[in-house]
Structure 1
Amino acid sequence: MASSARPSLLPQCSSCIRRVTRLGVDAWRPQQQQVRNKSKAAREAERNIIVKLLQDVPRFGRAGSLIPLNPAQMRNRWFPSRIADYVPAMQLKKLKAQGVEMQRDPLFGVKAPLEEAVEEDEDYFAGPKQHYVRPIEVELLSPERSMDLIDTFVPPTIDFTRQSIEHEMTETRSSYGASGAADILMAASMASKPKAPANGIYGSVSTADVAATIKAALAHNDEAARVLLSENDVKFVTGHEEDDATRVKQLGTFQVEILVPGAAAPLVRTVRVRAKKEE
Structure 2
Amino acid sequence: MAALGSSALLPQCASCIRRVTRLAWDAGRPLQQVRTKTKTAKTKAAKEAERNIVVKLRKDVRKFGRAGSLVPVNPSTMRNRWFPKRVADYVPFMQLKQLKAEGAAMERDFDFGVEVPLEEVVEEEDAYAEQHVRPQYVRPVEIELLSAARSMELLQTFIPGHIDFARQPIELEKAPAGARHGASAAADLLTAAAMASKPKPDANGIYGSVSTSDVVATIKSALAHNDEAARVILNDADVRFVNGHAEGDETRVKKLGTFTIEIKVPGAEAPVRRSVRIRAKE
Normalization by structure 1: what TM-score? Answer: 0.51
Residue of structure 1 equivalent to 2:139? 134
Counterpart pick for 1:273 among 261, 271, 278? 278
* Aligned residue pairs, count: 156
Q: Which amino acid aligns with 1:270?
A: S
Secondary structure of 1:232's counterpart equals: helix
1:192 CA displacement = 1.4
CA distance in 1, matches of 2:134, 2:230: 35
Residue of structure 2 equivalent to 1:86? none
Residue of structure 1 equivalent to 2:219? 214
Asked whether 1:164 is paired with 2:175, we answer no
Counterpart pick for 1:201 among 197, 206, 209? 206
Residue of structure 1 equivalent to 2:252? 247
Residue of structure 2 equivalent to 1:232? 237
Cα gap change, 1:171 to 1:266, in 2 (>3 Å): same
CA distance in 2, matches of 1:216, 1:140: 19
CA distance in 1, matches of 2:137, 2:181: 80
1:127 CA displacement = 5.8
Q: Which amino acid aligns with 1:251?
A: L
Residue of structure 1 equivalent to 2:228? 223
Residue of structure 1 equivalent to 2:68? none
Secondary structure of 1:197's counterpart equals: coil
1:138 CA displacement = 1.3
Secondary structure of 1:145's counterpart equals: helix
Counterpart pick for 2:196 among 188, 191, 210? 191
CA distance in 2, matches of 1:128, 1:162: 45
Q: Which amino acid aligns with 1:134?
A: R
Counterpart pick for 1:143 among 138, 145, 148? 148
Larger helix share, 1 or 2: 2
Cα gap change, 1:207 to 1:132, in 2 (>3 Å): closer
Secondary structure of 1:170's counterpart equals: coil
Residue of structure 2 equivalent to 1:180? 185
1:176 CA displacement = 3.7
Cα gap change, 1:246 to 1:127, in 2 (>3 Å): closer
Cα gap change, 1:132 to 1:201, in 2 (>3 Å): closer
CA distance in 2, matches of 1:179, 1:131: 75
1:243 CA displacement = 1.6
Identical pairs, percent: 63
1:264 CA displacement = 1.1
Residue of structure 2 equivalent to 1:91? none
Q: Which amino acid aligns with 1:215?
A: K
**Stretch moving more, 221-230 or 176-185:** 176-185
1:257 CA displacement = 0.2
1:230 CA displacement = 1.2
Secondary structure of 1:146's counterpart equals: helix
Cα gap change, 1:180 to 1:270, in 2 (>3 Å): same
Cα gap change, 1:130 to 1:213, in 2 (>3 Å): closer
Secondary structure of 1:141's counterpart equals: coil
Aligned-CA RMSD value: 2.5
CA distance in 2, matches of 1:129, 1:179: 74
